[in-house]
Amino acid sequence: MYVGIDIGGTQIKYGLVDETAQVFEKGAVDTPKEKEAFLTQVATIIQTYQDQHTDIEGVGISAPGVIQKDGMMTTAGAIRSLYGTNLKEEIEARTGLSAVIENDANAAAIAEKWVGNARDFDTYLCIVLGTGVGGGIVINGEVFRGARGMAGEFGWAIINELPEEGNVEFASLNLRSAVIGGLCRLYNEALKETQPEATPTWDAREIFQRYSENDPIAHKVVTRFYQDLAIGLMNLISQFDPEAILIGGGISANEQFIEGLQEAMNTLESRHESITFIKQYGWAPILPTKLKNDAGIIGAVYPLYKKSQKL
Provide the pLDDT for residue 10. 83
Q: Compute the average pLDDT of residues 138-149.
A: 91
Provide the pLDDT for residue 5. 97
CA torsion 165→171→174→179, rounded to 10°? 120
The b/e string for 220-253 (b: 16+ C-beta within 10 A; e otherwise) is ebbebbbbbbbbbbbebbeebebbbbbbbbebbe
Provide the pLDDT for residue 162. 87
How would residue 311 be classed by pLDDT, with cut points 50, 70 and 90?
low
Q: With pLDDT > 90 as the criterion, what percentage of the chain qualifies?
A: 85
The pLDDT tens digits for 14-56 are 999 999 999 999 999 999 999 999 999 999 999 999 999 999 9
Sheet holding 133-139, edge to edge: 142-143, 133-139, 124-129, 245-248, 286-288
Give 91's strand partners. none
Do 2-109+292-310 and 121-288 have matching folds?
yes
Q: Does position 9 have pLDDT exceeding 70, yes or no?
A: yes
Q: Where are the domains of the chain?
A: 2-109+292-310, 121-288
Decide which of 2.120.10.30, 3.30.420.40, 3.40.50.2000, 2.60.40.2300 is the CATH code for 121-288: 3.30.420.40
Look at the alpha carbons of 125, 204, 201, 216 in this order and tell me if their dihedral is positive or negative.
Answer: positive
CA torsion 174→176→179→184, rounded to 10°? 130
Residue 59 phi, psi (nearest 5): -125, 130
For 2-109+292-310, CATH number?
A: 3.30.420.40
User: 14 vs 3, 115, 180, 303, CA distance in Å?
Assistant: 7, 18, 23, 17
77 or 99, higher pLDDT? 99
The pLDDT tens digits for 263-300 are 999 999 999 999 999 999 999 999 999 988 889 999 99
Q: Compute the average pLDDT of residues 248-256.
A: 87
Task: Name the DSSP class of 22.
Answer: -
Closest CA to 115 of 250, 297, 298, 286: 298
